[in-house]
Amino acid sequence: MMLPSLITLLTLGSMATAAPTARARDVVSRRLLIGGPSQILTANFNGSSFEITGKNVTAGTAPSWMRLKASTNTLYAVDENSNSLNQFKFDDITSGEFAYASSVTGSSGVVFLEFNKDKTRLVGAAYGSAMIDVWDVSADGAPKLLKQIKVEGPLGPNQQAHHPHQALLDPTGRFIILPDLGGDQLLVLDTKDDKYEITETITLFPGAGPRHGGFITSGDKTFYTVACELSNKVILYGLDYTGDGLAFKEISTQSTYGAQFPPANATSAAAGAVAIANNKDVYISNRLSGNETDSIAHFVFNANTTSLTFSNTVSSHGILPRDISLSIDEDQSLLFVANQAGDNGLVALRRCPVSGKLDANPVATKPFTELIALGLENEPNVGPQFVQEI
Ligand SMILES: *[C@@H]1O[C@H](CO)[C@@H](O)[C@H](O)[C@H]1NC(C)=O
Ligand SMILES: *[C@@H]1O[C@H](CO)[C@@H](O)[C@H](O)[C@H]1NC(C)=O
Ligand SMILES: *[C@@H]1O[C@H](CO)[C@@H](O)[C@H](O)[C@H]1NC(C)=O
Ligand SMILES: *[C@@H]1O[C@H](CO)[C@@H](O)[C@H](O)[C@H]1NC(C)=O
Ligand SMILES: *[C@@H]1O[C@H](CO)[C@@H](O)[C@H](O)[C@H]1NC(C)=O
């Protein structure tokens, strides 16, 4: 017993003298923003563990999506359970501490926020009320509601309402694309000259249920890929910018699970979030698969053949990975996962910057039990719904 521990001590001692340069190079402190039932958290991630640095706990709220405007240190947070858009302020983002600033009222059930190109407008996708909100956020104060657009058109099979699920600004900074889960359609919102009008609707196959998408650019070509929650399909489109319009050309439709790894329960399976790295690597969270844990699928876009090909799948190390997002270093070397249930609420997975493959063994995890708001201990699926490095 004595000898091994002495050797261990000596080894550690010699490592400690050699360590500072290695540490300085390898250890990057990252700041994360986390949202979930009743709370907003900030955390430091030092490469091996997550440490909570700030929080706002408000019973009954669901800040499931947020956007930070760095120029004013303002955080805009949805409350999926009400019609409030809440603002918070950071004195200094590096501290992780933030304070509540104000609330304004728009449509209810907003689940996603997106800025326009110069961050003077904020667009909200209101899943819960089939509306699109357009806010003026040009001033450093409470947002002003400029416009509310009702989502219209035929509904998908067995759907009772339209459900805009995401609003994502395209690479040109002119159009915002909104997948409508209830209407099996994609909506194109034109931001030019402050118009904010739906100029195009793209119809998907009945029962598609589009949820979250992402853009890929290659040379002068642009592509859009969308993960469909109700059908567990990922669709790849080529985009054509035609003067004032945006045309979608479908290239492929395939399972978000790939061909080899079907969900154990196809009835509950519900594709979730999309993250795209390097204009090539497409990651999709597959939720409620019925397997022991849920998973993150990796697809590779090949610009030469304009194809999207399934690569592999890794465990999300939890259940219901509602959100996934990439670290903000140049290599986007990590993928963060927010699991609403299962053992691990937060997970960091290493990503190979060349192949795009995710390492199946996490770099770090944080138990679900350490990530739920006080009072929700006995409720299901109350883990993180949103994670992003800021
Ligand atoms: C990260 O923080 C944890 C907890 O404080 C600590 O045990 C660990 O050594 C730190 N890791 C690094 C790489 O600094
Ligand atoms: C936390 O945020 C809510 C808005 O969601 C706000 O009403 C409340 O005052 C904030 N709490 C604190 C302690 O700042
Ligand atoms: C999930 O379960 C199904 C059916 O048991 C199996 O075919 C599939 O390979 C599993 N997925 C993974 C990622 O292990
Ligand atoms: C599959 O999911 C459905 C819908 O959630 C559920 O009703 C059913 O019990 C599940 N089947 C199994 C075998 O767990
Ligand atoms: C695409 O084509 C270029 C030029 O021929 C080649 O260098 C590159 O490796 C190809 N990429 C893939 C993914 O096949």
3-state helix/strand/coil string of 292-318:
CCCEEEEEEEECCCCEEEEEEEEECCC
For residue 9, the model assigns a pLDDT of 39
CA distance 14 to 344: 34
pLDDT at 21: 42
Q: Which of 76, 83, 86 to mutate to test the pocket of ligand 2 (most atoms within 8 A of CB)?
A: 86
pLDDT tens digits for range 326-342:
999 999 999 999 999 99
**Please, what's the b/e burial string for 145-183 (b: 16 or more CB within 10 A of its CB; e: otherwise)?**
eeeebebeeebbeebeebbbbbbbbbeeebbbbbbbbbb
Q: Is the CB of 29 under 6 A from ligand 1?
A: no
Q: What is the mean pLDDT of residues 77-90?
A: 98
20 touches ligand 1 (CB under 6 Å): no
Closest CA to 57 of 75, 31, 32, 34: 34
23 pLDDT higher than 60: no
Confidence of residue 282 (pLDDT cuts 50, 70, 90): very high
| Alpha-carbon span 310 to 287, nearest angstrom | 17
The CA distance from 189 to 114, in Å, is: 12
Rounded to whole angstroms, the Cα distance separating 229 from 342 reads 20
Q: How many helices (H) and strands (E) does the chain have?
A: 1, 28
What is the C-alpha separation between 32 and 209, in angstroms, rounded? 30
- Cβ–Cβ under 8 Å, residues 229 and 211: yes
Q: What is the pLDDT of residue 243?
A: 87
What mean pLDDT is predicted for residues 33-51? 97
Q: How does pLDDT run across 257-266, given as a tens digit for each residue?
A: 999 999 999 9
Contacts of 132 (CB under 8 A, 6+ apart): 107, 123, 124, 125, 126, 148, 149, 151, 164, 167, 178, 187, 189, 198
Q: Cβ(307) to ligand 5 under 6 A?
A: no
The mean pLDDT of 245-250, rounded to a whole number, is 96
Look at 6-10, 74-78, 275-279, 385-389 and tell me which has the smallest mean pLDDT. 6-10
Asked whether the predicted pLDDT for residue 27 surpasses 70, the reply is no
> What's the rounded mean pLDDT across residues 129-150?
97
pLDDT of residue 19: 39
Cβ proximity of 109 and 129 under 8 Å: yes
Over residues 184-201, the mean pLDDT reads: 98
Residue whose CA is at the smallest distance from ligand 2 atom 4: 86
Q: What pLDDT is stored for residue 347 in this prediction?
A: 98
Residue nearest to atom 9 of ligand 5 (CA): 304
Q: Which ligand is closest to the CA of 219, given by its number?
A: 5
Asked if pLDDT for residue 18 goes beyond 60, the answer is no
Distance CA 260, CA 262 (A): 6
Q: What angle do CA 196, 202, 207 make, to 5 degrees?
A: 125
Over range 227-242, report the average pLDDT. 98
Q: Is the pLDDT of residue 12 over 70?
A: no
CA 241–ligand 5 middle distance (angstroms): 25
Q: What is the pLDDT of residue 306?
A: 97
The torsion defined by the Cα of 114, 134, 35 and 100, in degrees rounded to 10, comes to 120
DSSP assigned state of 358: B
pLDDT at residue 68 above 60?
yes
For residues 188-193, average pLDDT: 98
Region 267-287: mean pLDDT is 98
Does the beta carbon of 265 lie inside 6 Å of ligand 4?
A: yes
Q: State the DSSP H helix or E strand holding residue 187, giving kind and residue range, or none if neither.
A: strand 185-190
Measured at the CA of 345, the angle between CA 351 and CA 165, to 5 degrees, comes to: 80
Note the pLDDT of residue 364: 98
Q: Is the pLDDT of residue 117 over 90?
A: yes
Question: Over 60: is that where the pLDDT of 45 sits?
Answer: yes
Is the pLDDT at 221 greater than 70? The verdict is: yes
pLDDT tier, 43 (very low <50, low <70, confident <90, very high otherwise): very high
Q: Which atom of ligand 2 is nearest to the CA of 56?
A: 1
Residue 352 to residue 359: CA distance in whole angstroms? 8
Report which protein residue has its CA nearest ligand 5's atom 1: 304
Model pLDDT for residues 294-312, shown as the tens digit of each residue? 999 999 999 999 999 999 9
Q: Which atom of ligand 1 is nearest to the CA of 23?
A: 13
Ligand 3 pocket test target in 261, 314, 317, 319 with most atoms within 8 Å of CB: 261
- The C-alpha atoms of residue 210 and residue 232 are separated, in whole angstroms, by 9
**Would you say residue 7 has pLDDT above 80?**
no
Joined tokens for residue 275: 């993250």
- pLDDT of 20 reads 40
- Flag whether pLDDT at 13 surpasses 50: no
Q: Record the pTM.
A: 0.94
Whether 317 has a pLDDT exceeding 50, the answer reads yes
The token duo for 349 is 């997975």
Please name which ligand lies nearest the alpha carbon of 48: 1
Q: Which atom of ligand 5 is nearest to the CA of 302?
A: 13
Whether 242 lines ligand 1, by a CB cut-off of 6 Å, is no
- For ligand 2, whether the C-beta of 58 sits within 6 Å is yes
What pLDDT is recorded for position 17?
40
Cα–Cα distance measured from residue 223 to residue 237, given in angstroms and rounded to the nearest whole number: 6
